[in-house]
Every structure is written in C-alpha cells, then in structure tokens.
Amino acid sequence: MLEARGLRAGYGAAPAIRDVSLDVGQGDLVVVVGPNGAGKTTLINAIAGLHRIESGRLVFSGTNISDLPPHRFCDQGIALVPEGRRLFTGMSVRENLELGAYGSAAKPHRAQAMQRVLALFPMLGAKLRALAGTLSGGQQQMLAIGRALMARPRLLLLDEPSLGLAPTIVIEMFRIIREVNQDGVAVLLVEQNVAMALQLARRAYVLEEGRIVAQGSPQELASQPDIQRAYLGH
Amino acid sequence: MKPVAAFVLVGAALAVAPFLGLPAFYESFLYLVFSWVVLATSWNLLSGYAGYFSFGHAAFFGAGVYATAVLGGKLGWSLLATLPLAAGVPALLGVTLGAVIFRVRALRGELFAVLTLAVTFVVSTIVLNTPIDGGPGVMLSAVSIPKLAPSPSGTFYLMALILALISVYISYRVYHSRFGTGLFAIHDDEEVAEVMGVPTYRFKLGAFALSCALAGLAGGIHGVFVSYVTVAETFGHWLALYVILMAAIGGTRHWLGPALGAALVTTLLYAFTASEHALGGRAVVGLVLILVILFLPQGLLGRFSRRAAFPRKELIPPDASIAVANKERLLVIRGASKAFKGVQALAGVDLEVRRGEILGLVGPNGSGKSTLINVVSGHYPLDGGSIVFEGREIAGEAPHRIASGGIARTYQIPRPFAHLSVLENVALPPMFGRVAMDRGRAESEAWRWLEFTNLSGKAGRLPAELNLHERKFLELARALASRPKLLFLDEVLSGMTPSEMDEAIRLVRAIREQGATIVFVEHVMRAVMELTDRVVVLTNGRTIAEGVPREVMRNPQVIDAYLGAAHA
Amino acid sequence: MPSAALLGQSLLAGIFAGALYGLLGLGLTLSWGMLRQINLAHFALVFLGGYLTYQLAAAGFDPLATLALIAPAFFILGVALHALLARFKVGILNTLLVTYGFTVMLESLLQWIWSADYRRMDSHYGAVKWKVGELFVSLPELITLAIACATALAMWAVLRYTDLGKALRAIAEDAPMAAAFGVNHKLLSLLLSGLCAALAAVAGTCLALTYTLAPSQMYAWIGVVFAVVMIGGLGNPLGPLVAGLAIGVSEALTMAITAPAWAPLVSFSLLIGALLVRPQRF
C-alpha cells in the first residue's frame, strides 16, 4: 500500500534521512526503531507530507504522492499523530476532533467517526468542552490519536507516542493501536521504546544515522546484535 | 590612517563650506542632511545593532526640542547652555522606560515597536497640555547662538556637522568594540548572548541612553533652527518612520549605513519638494521603503557589514592555573526539580561532578538531560533543590553571572549568532566570560580554539555556510573559548558520521587534558563507553544509576529503562 | 461638574466613537492575530474606502449601497497584499514597515485625487436626528453602531461555530498540522486577508457617514485603534468592540470632565499598562 523508495530529506548539506526504502502493506503494523537523532521524525513527517522530500519516491495505493501539497495528504487516506502531540491547545477537545474530519473525504462521515472515537476513548467524552491544553499528557496523546482517527485513514502514522507517558498509559495506548489495526487500518509507528514496539509489530525496521540498517520480524531482530549495539553501545 | 584622524579630516573639509560664501539655502539644506544623519545614526545604535526596533524616536527628539525650548525660549538661556539638558532629559526618559521595559522578556520585537509608538503619543500629549508648551507653541527666535560662522545658517550648519561627526564616530567605535559585539549578539539570539556572559540588560540600557541623548541634542539645535516649535510638528509620526527608512536603506548593521540612508532620502525628498512634486516624492519614499524591505533587507551597505578581524597576534599559551583532576567536588546538585506546564521534567535529581573528570549523562529521550543543563546554565529557574558550584549556590543567578563563574555549555541544536562570523562567534565568550578580554585579545584566543577544532579555514564565514558537523564544532569552540572550568556538551555527536565522531572524541579528550571538567550528554553509547570516567543515568527526571560505564550499562534497571523488559 | 445632559450626551458620543474604533480594529485584529501581519495600511484603506463612498455618493448613489462595489474591490486588494507578503516571507516586524510604505503611497494618492481639504459627505442619512429625552442621536451614528456590532458578532460566530472558522483558528495555532488534516492554509489565509480589507471598506463607509475626511487624518486613528486591538486581545473579533466602547466612553467622560486634550492619554495609558502587566497575552 505504501511504498517508499530511496527517500532523502533533511536540512541542507547533511540530510536527516538518506536512501530510505520501506513498505507498509494493507492492514500491516510496521515499526521503525532507532536511537535519538536517527531521523525517525523526519521520516514520518516526510511520509505525512509535512516535510519536503528532496529525492526518492513515495507511492500510496498506486498514486505517486511525492510532490503532493501538504493539505492533500489527508484525503489520500494518511493521518498523522505527530511527536509532541501538536494539538490545537486553544481549542476544545470536540473542536480538535472535528478538525480531524475536516478533509473532504472524511467530513460526510464525521458524526459516525466521532461515535467510534468516543467509544475507543471514553474519557474524552467526559471532557469534550475542555480546552485541549488543559488535559494531562496521557489524555492529550489519546486525543491526538482520536483526532487522526477522525480522518478515517487507511494508514495511521505515529511518531514516538510513548514519549513522556507513564508505563501503564503506554500499555493502554498500544492496546488501542492494536485494536485500530485489527479494524483494518495500517499502522506505521516510530518509537524509541524498543520493547513495547517490538511486541506490537509484525515487521520492524532499524533506523540509524538516517539509514535503514536492519529489517525483519521482531523475533529476527531481537536476536540480532544490531539493536543492542545501536542503543547500548555493546 | 587612524580612524580619529580620518573623521577630523573629513570634518575639517566639510567645515570650510560656510566660509566659502555658500548660499544660505545650501547651508540650510546640508544642515537638514546632517540633522537626519544624527537622528538615523542614533536610532540605529539600539534598534539596528541590537534589533529592538523603536517607533518612538520622535519622543526623545521632542524631549530635546522642548528642553531647549523651555530653558532657552522661556528662561532665556543660550543654546549652548541648554545642550547638556537637551541630551540629559531624553536620556533619562529613555533609561527610565528601558529600566522597566527591558526587564520584561516578552516585550520584544513588534511589541516593543508598538510600545514605543505609544510612548510618543503620551509624551506629546503631556507636553501639549502642561506649561511646557500648553498649546500655542514656543518661540525660540530670541535664543542666543554662538557665532561660529559668518551667518546664522552657517552656524547651524557647523553645529549640525559637528554633532553628525560625533554621532557617526560613536557609531563607528561602538561597532568595533566589545559593546557592539554584545549588541549584535543580542540582536541574533538574546538568550544565548546572556548565557555566554553578555550583560544584556545593561548593554540595552546603555545603547538606549546614548541613542536618546544624541536625538535630544539634534532636537535642541533644531528647535532654535526653526525658531518656533509646536507639538504637532515636533512629535509628528513621520520622524519615527523616516529614521527607520533611512537606516533600512543604508543598512542597519553597518556604522555608516544610517548616515548614507539619511543623505539619500533627504536629498530625494527635497529634490521632489523643490520641483513641486512633494506628494509624488512622499509616495516614492514609501515605494522605496517597500522595495528595500522586500529586495534589499540588508540595506545598501549590508554586504560590507562584516567587521574586519583583528590581525592575528601571538597565541596565548594555555592557562596552567586550571587544576588537574583531584576528585574534588566541583558541582553538587541536590534535589533539583523543574516542571513545565504540568510535565515534571526534573523530579529531584541528585548529582555530583568531580573536578577533572569526564562524566557521562545518559538516559532515554525525555529523561530530563537537556533540562538539567538548561537549569544549571541559568536558562530556566529551578523550582526546588540546590546547585552548588565551587562551594557557591548558583541556582537563581543571572545566566551571564553563571557564565563568568566558569560554566559553559553547547546546544544540542547549534545556536550560533547568525550574523556574526565564525571567528566573532568564538571570540564572544572570551570577551564576556571569566577573563573578560578586549576584542583584539579575544580574537587571538578565538583563533586558538578554531585551530583546535579545525575550523580556522572557515573563520571569516557565516555559520549558515557551515555544514552540521562544522556547526557542532563551532558550538564546541565557542564553549571552550571562555576557558570554562565546567563544560556541558549536549549531544555533540548526534548526526555525525563515524569518522567525524572519532575526531570529536579525540577533541573531547584533549579538552580534558587542558584542565576542563566535562559533563557529556550523549546517546551514542560507544562514545560514552570510550570517553567517560563515570556515568549517571537519568530516567523520568530522576537519577537511577551511577558508576563506572561498563557496570552501569549492564545494570538491569538501566537496560530496562532503555530497551524495556524484553531485552533484560 | 457638567450637567447630567452634557454627561449623557458625552456618554453617547463615547459609545458611538467606541463603536467606530471597534469597527476599525476588527480587520486589524484578525490579520494581526491570525495571519501574523501588522497591517498599518489598514487605515489608509479605510480612508480610501471613505473617499470612494464620498465620491460615489456625490454622484448620486446611496452611501451604504456603494459598499456593493467597494467591498469586493477591496477584497481583491487584501488578497494581493497577503500574496505579496507571503511570497517574500516577510516577518511580522517587517510587515509593519512594508505596510507603512503602502500607507504613505496611498496617502499621497488620496491627497492627489481629493486634495488636502476637508471633505464632508452630504447624505440623506445625515439629516435624520432624533431626540431621546434630553439627548440627541443621529442616524449615521446609529448605523455605525449597528454595523460595528453586527460585523463583530458575525465574525465571532463564524470563528466559533463554523468549520471554516475552526480551520482559521487551527491555522493561527499550527498551520502545518492544520494542513495535515486537509486545511488549505495558503488559500484560507488569502481569503481572510481579503475579508479584512473588505471590513476596512465597511469601516470607511461608516467613517464617511459620520466624520469629515482629510488624508492626514488617518494617522489620528492609528494610536487608539492599536490600543483597542491589543487590549481586546489579538485575534478576538469582539475584543476591539468591547475595548473600543470602554475607551470611547472613558475618553468622552475625560473630555467632559477635564479638558479635551487629555483624552488621548486614556487609551495609551491603558495600552502601556496592559503591555507591562500582562505581556504574555500578546
């Protein structure tokens, strides 16, 4: 469904990602792990249309989206849960969710999508009127995921969703992501928390200094020394 | 030729004019040119150099006008006698305003501009409604002026010429001085300038006072020149905007820019007025402003605004007085806590740094490492806990004092001063650090560190022209240049290729050999293993392990924090 | 101490003046708060609109009807301005300077076409006055008040309740994230800028109805309108109206009780106070 070939993006002479190729199939759950500074956020932002792709190809469901303007990515079926949530903090929870379904493809189904999202995240239902900025970290993360789901994506992108969250909340969140995936939404997740990520994934890539250095199933990767070396140095 | 001599020569050449029988019209026109040179140049001292765009220059010009008007026009003083107050009153006004405004971090940029605009309106209303003016204006035709030239217009010409020369000379001297470097640094990144030791509050006040004093002097003289002053004419909105236009056209980062712009714009305006197309003239001035901002934002002299480096002098030998490793406790942090909008970044960190060691500070993303550095260097105040450096509590001190105490840091994402050259960037901390040096010595010191980091070939370039690895080394050189006792390196290696990393590791070792104590925040584990004597692990804002690298990284708790239970 | 009638009339005058401040400030607060543009040329546009209304009224058109022509034309000007500023990626401080350049150019144009003389529009509206108890109220003032309230409330409602309004608020906070959810922020910003210019046209017509026009007069409004915009909160459509009414009334009462010349001090002191006490609001 998603094919990235030879992606290169970043700032100036030293690109953050170089020659990255990966695939996400329909209904797949793919994880990209790597240490800080490896280029994970640039990669996810490039796939979401937030970051300009300098060279390489990005194809989604047969359509070449490499040169599409940012606001057209959503209608293609790609939704992003960005690093740091980036909610519209001055707007209410309800308004944040409604904005998720702003795109022309998602708007007709907004009421339905809202029902589904509130069923997934009941605690948001109690706080619909609250300003997004007043929620706790965990609640904000749930809202960010909910907002993305309002767009009825076929591919959900998540950038380090566990950052700054307590372990119990992370477990709950990953459970929800698994549930969403089982409903048929493909998921591409970028994470620093390797253990959780590998438990969740069907396939994983290891990103180090802007390049893919390993890929495979979680079992295959866990037995390889790549990850341990990348993170712990030995 | 020494600069002073050059100025005197130019001045003498121009001063001859009134004695050569120049028609009064030209003398008056040139008087106006000189007067605008003073106004534009004085404005530029704060607004161009330090970046605090003031829309209220008319307030200080007007304060000078009315100081002379009251003392000269109403109390009979001679013009020369009023001048000290024509300078002093606006300066005092400016310092009072600045003392309040500059304390408030948020009042920069466009807010400062609007605030100064409001000040003009307030001052003019007060002048209009009190006995200072009261409404009818003030007659100044009876104020006695010195006899410097055959005619009164010649005298005004000479007075304005002298003031213009003084203003431009001051602009020139500040531009090349330590004060000027500080102002330019404030322009580019005030927070970093403060952390590097620039006393930003004092410098801004100083530039503001100077700017207001010169504007006031121009005002005092101008009042007597026009011989009848009214509030409407004196505090007119166009003055504030014309000086901005003049400085923008000439180049706000150059000492001669405003003067050049003033000469051009005044000539342009008067050419139009003379040919009875005054309206068209004003429209052209508006158009020129737009074109300059859009196409020539640096102004005409912008390209030449790079200060020539001082010639390389003898390199200063390393400071042998910095003690070598002796296990003494250099920095002690106890219970440090800091929260941002509900996120507890530091939750009671305990940490010790011993003199002469390389301490590794590691932990997963979001564990609080960068926050800890920010808090120690003074970027953010601590919520609770204490930080003791060399026996002295530094939590809560102003960043520039912490810097001069001997603590330096690099930034994870490099924050060089964008408009200063590589050399100037590195020369800044020695100018304002522990051993405050003048520009010449500081630049020699900077050369040393540029050689150390292999950047001497790029000394004259701007930071934007360097690649990421070079910019990281620039950060390093800049931090080292202040000869710190304690150096915090914030993820210096991220984004580097393996060979660049080897070079960096070599450098860090060499730095320690020079006597600095280093706290090394990193994610690249192999570097941490190779370099550090001890490692401290932070997670969720707390210290969870401490000790020799090999042991700490095999500690099950640490492995858990990084990789999760799966790999334990 | 002035009489009750005088105070009452002053109060009314203050309300009407405040309404006009609010109307003038509406376009300015929206473009500053949501587009990060400080459009000094807004005032010149207002006066241009006023003069055009005056001219068309002299040719026989109903002053209010002239808006049907002027507002769309100004909409296009607003779009063009934003396109220019966006194309050159002009920073917020520089937008102040660029628009000042346009102000000066427009002022010269106004003076060239209509001369520096004061112009007063004669309209049938101006002749209508009512007496309410001891106080006089004129129709143009009421029209201005009505339009000011209506436009402010309309903009508030749009921003608060419509999808378009929510998209605009999202853009103001985080434009790239808004784009990630399908909001075409470039297009919407252009439209908003056009709208702000159209609002300037509306303000200009009201100005022509109630005040005498002269090119140099545009500068007299800058200070107080900036004050109401900032005190009212950037980007808040109701802000300038509420702050304007408050300032208009305080000014009028100050004028009635002390001397007229002290009135400008009110708005500026309030502004300086607001900036110093709570700068984070801006």
Most C CBs within 10 A among A42, A98, A99, hence the mutation to make, goes to A99
Q: Which CATH number covers residue C66?
A: 1.10.3470
The full length of chain B comes to 568
Give the residue numbers spanning the domain of A69. Answer: 1-77+155-164+188-234
Q: Which chains have 3+ CB pairs within 8 A of A?
A: B, C
Q: Which residues of C touch B294 (CB under 8 A)?
A: 84, 88, 90, 98
From residue C80, alpha-carbon distances to B71, C53, C73, C110 in Å are 52, 22, 11, 20
Q: Which residues of C touch A129 (CB under 8 A)?
A: none
Phi, psi (degrees; rounded to nearest 5) at B20? -100, 15
With b meaning 16 or more CB within 10 Å and e meaning fewer, what string describes C137-153?
ebbbbebbbebbbebbe
Nearest Cα neighbor of A25 from A144, A229, A181 is: A181
Q: Which residues of B touch C229 (CB under 8 A)?
A: none
Sign for the pseudo-dihedral over CA of A73, A75, A77, A79: positive
The alpha-carbon gap from C146 to the nearest alpha carbon of chain A, in Å, equals 29
Please answer whether residues B347 and B540 qualify as being in contact, where contact means their C-beta atoms are separated by less than 8 angstroms. yes
Nearest Cα neighbor of B330 from B488, B486, B482, B532 is: B486
Q: Which residues of B touch C227 (CB under 8 A)?
A: 118
Distance separating alpha carbons of residues B316 and B318, to the nearest angstrom:
6
Q: Is residue A137 part of a domain?
A: no
Q: Which residue has the tokens 């587009």?
A: C35
pLDDT for the residue B326: 63
Q: Which residues of A touch C181 (CB under 8 A)?
A: 74, 79, 99-100, 102-103, 147, 151
Please answer whether residues B62 and B235 qualify as being in contact, where contact means their C-beta atoms are separated by less than 8 angstroms. yes
C275 closest CB neighbour out of B107, B129, B287: B107
Calculated CA dihedral for residues B117, B51, B36, B68, nearest 10 degrees: 60
C97 closest CB neighbour out of B128, B135, B293: B293
Q: Which residues of A touch B526 (CB under 8 A)?
A: 233-234
What is the total count of domains within chain C?
1
Nearest Cα neighbor of B135 from B221, B230, B262 is: B230
Q: Which CATH number covers residue A39?
A: 3.40.50.300
Three-state DSSP state, C165 = helix
Distance separating alpha carbons of residues C156 and C159, to the nearest angstrom:
5
Scanning every residue of chain A, which has its alpha carbon at the shortest distance from the alpha carbon of B412?
Answer: A37
Distance separating alpha carbons of residues C134 and B257, to the nearest angstrom:
62
Distance separating alpha carbons of residues C143 and B159, to the nearest angstrom:
56
Q: Are B553 and A232 inside 8 Å of each other by CB? A: yes
Burial of B348 (0-12, 13-18, 19+ CB in 10 A): middle
Token code pair at residue B32 = 């106006």
Distance separating alpha carbons of residues C282 and C227, to the nearest angstrom:
12
Which ipTM value was assigned to this complex? 0.88
Nearest Cα neighbor of B295 from B248, B246, B244, B238 is: B248
Q: Is residue A27 part of a domain?
A: yes
CA atoms within 13 A on the CB side of C194: 15
From residue C8, alpha-carbon distances to A131, C17, C31, C128, C252 in Å are 42, 14, 35, 20, 10
Q: Is residue A40 part of a domain?
A: yes
Scanning every residue of chain A, which has its alpha carbon at the shortest distance from the alpha carbon of B558?
Answer: A232
The alpha-carbon gap from B245 to the nearest alpha carbon of chain C, in Å, equals 8
Q: Is residue A126 part of a domain?
A: no
Most A CBs within 10 A among C177, C185, C281, hence the mutation to make, goes to C177
The alpha-carbon gap from B480 to the nearest alpha carbon of chain A, in Å, equals 24
How confident is the prediction along chain B (568 residues), in pLDDT tens digits per residue? 688 888 888 888 888 888 887 788 888 899 999 999 999 999 999 999 999 999 899 999 999 999 999 998 888 888 889 999 999 999 999 999 999 889 887 778 778 888 888 888 889 888 988 888 888 888 888 888 888 888 888 889 999 999 999 999 999 999 988 899 999 999 999 989 988 889 999 999 999 999 999 999 999 999 999 989 999 889 887 788 889 889 998 999 999 999 999 999 999 888 877 776 777 877 888 888 899 889 988 888 887 776 666 666 555 555 544 545 567 888 999 988 988 866 778 888 999 999 889 999 988 766 788 889 989 988 888 888 999 998 889 988 888 888 888 898 998 888 999 889 999 999 999 888 777 788 888 888 899 889 888 888 888 888 988 877 788 899 999 988 888 889 999 888 876 777 778 888 888 888 888 888 999 888 777 788 888 999 998 888 888 888 888 888 788 777 776 665 433 3
Q: Are A102 and C180 inside 8 Å of each other by CB? A: no
What is the total count of domains within chain A?
1
Q: Which residues of A touch B524 (CB under 8 A)?
A: 35, 233
Q: Are C173 and A89 inside 8 Å of each other by CB? A: yes
Distance separating alpha carbons of residues C234 and B406, to the nearest angstrom:
43
Q: Which residues of B touch A16 (CB under 8 A)?
A: 495
Number of C-beta neighbours around residue A211 at 10 A:
14
Give the residue numbers spanning the domain of C152. Answer: 4-281
Q: Is residue A5 part of a domain?
A: yes
Please answer whether residues A86 and A45 qualify as being in contact, where contact means their C-beta atoms are separated by less than 8 angstroms. no
Q: Which chains have 3+ CB pairs within 8 A of C?
A: A, B
With b meaning 16 or more CB within 10 Å and e meaning fewer, what string describes C51-83?
bbbbbbbeeeeebbebbeebbeebbebbbebbe
Please answer whether residues C242 and C232 qualify as being in contact, where contact means their C-beta atoms are separated by less than 8 angstroms. yes
- For residue B25, what are the contacts with CB-CB under 8 A and spacing of at least 6? none
Scanning every residue of chain C, which has its alpha carbon at the shortest distance from the alpha carbon of B105?
Answer: C279
Q: Is residue A147 part of a domain?
A: no
Q: What is the block-wise mean pLDDT of chain A (234 residues), using blocks of 10 residues?
A: 87 74 91 79 90 88 88 91 90 93 88 92 89 86 94 93 78 90 92 79 85 84 68 55
Q: Are C182 and A88 inside 8 Å of each other by CB? A: no
Number of C-beta neighbours around residue B360 at 10 A:
24
pLDDT for the residue A202: 86
Q: Are C169 and A91 inside 8 Å of each other by CB? A: yes
From residue B315, alpha-carbon distances to B309, B311, B323 in Å are 15, 12, 21
From residue C66, alpha-carbon distances to A181, B474, C26, C137, C197 in Å are 59, 62, 20, 24, 15
A84 and chain C: CB distance < 8 Å anywhere? Answer: no
Domains of chain B, each with CATH number or no CATH: 3-236 (no CATH), 355-383+395-406+485-568 (3.40.50.300), 417-483 (no CATH)
Q: How far is CA A111 from the centre of its chain?
A: 24
pLDDT for the residue C197: 97
If interface means Cβ-Cβ distance under 8 Å, which residues of chain B face chain C?
53, 100-101, 104, 106-107, 109-111, 113-115, 117-119, 121-122, 125-126, 128-129, 135, 237, 241, 244, 248, 279-280, 282-283, 285-290, 293-294, 297
Sign for the pseudo-dihedral over CA of A176, A177, A182, A185: positive
Please answer whether residues B49 and B180 qualify as being in contact, where contact means their C-beta atoms are separated by less than 8 angstroms. yes
Q: Are B125 and C268 inside 8 Å of each other by CB? A: yes
Q: Which residues of B touch A169 (CB under 8 A)?
A: none
Scanning every residue of chain A, which has its alpha carbon at the shortest distance from the alpha carbon of C177?
Answer: A86
C180 closest CB neighbour out of A80, A91, A107: A80
Burial of C276 (0-12, 13-18, 19+ CB in 10 A): middle
Among C residues 177-236, those touching chain B with beta carbons less than 8 Å apart: 219, 222-223, 226-227, 230
Distance separating alpha carbons of residues B389 and C106, to the nearest angstrom:
61
Calculated CA dihedral for residues C74, C76, C82, C86, nearest 10 degrees: -170
Distance separating alpha carbons of residues C196 and C185, to the nearest angstrom:
16
- Give the angle subtended at the CA of C24 by the CAs of C21 and C30, to the nearest 5°: 120
C197 and chain A: CB distance < 8 Å anywhere? Answer: no
Please answer whether residues B447 and B315 qualify as being in contact, where contact means their C-beta atoms are separated by less than 8 angstroms. yes
Alpha helices by DSSP H, chain A:
40-48, 73-76, 93-100, 110-120, 122-125, 137-150, 167-182, 194-200, 218-223, 225-232
Q: Are B366 and A164 inside 8 Å of each other by CB? A: yes
Q: Based on DSSP, count helices (H) and strands (E) in chain B, helices before strands.
A: 21, 12
Residue ranges of chain C with pLDDT lower than 50? none
Nearest Cα neighbor of A217 from A193, A200, A192 is: A200
C177 closest CB neighbour out of A86, A95, A107: A86
Distance separating alpha carbons of residues B16 and B9, to the nearest angstrom:
11
Alpha helices by DSSP H, B79-151:
79-101, 109-129
Number of C-beta neighbours around residue B396 at 10 A:
11
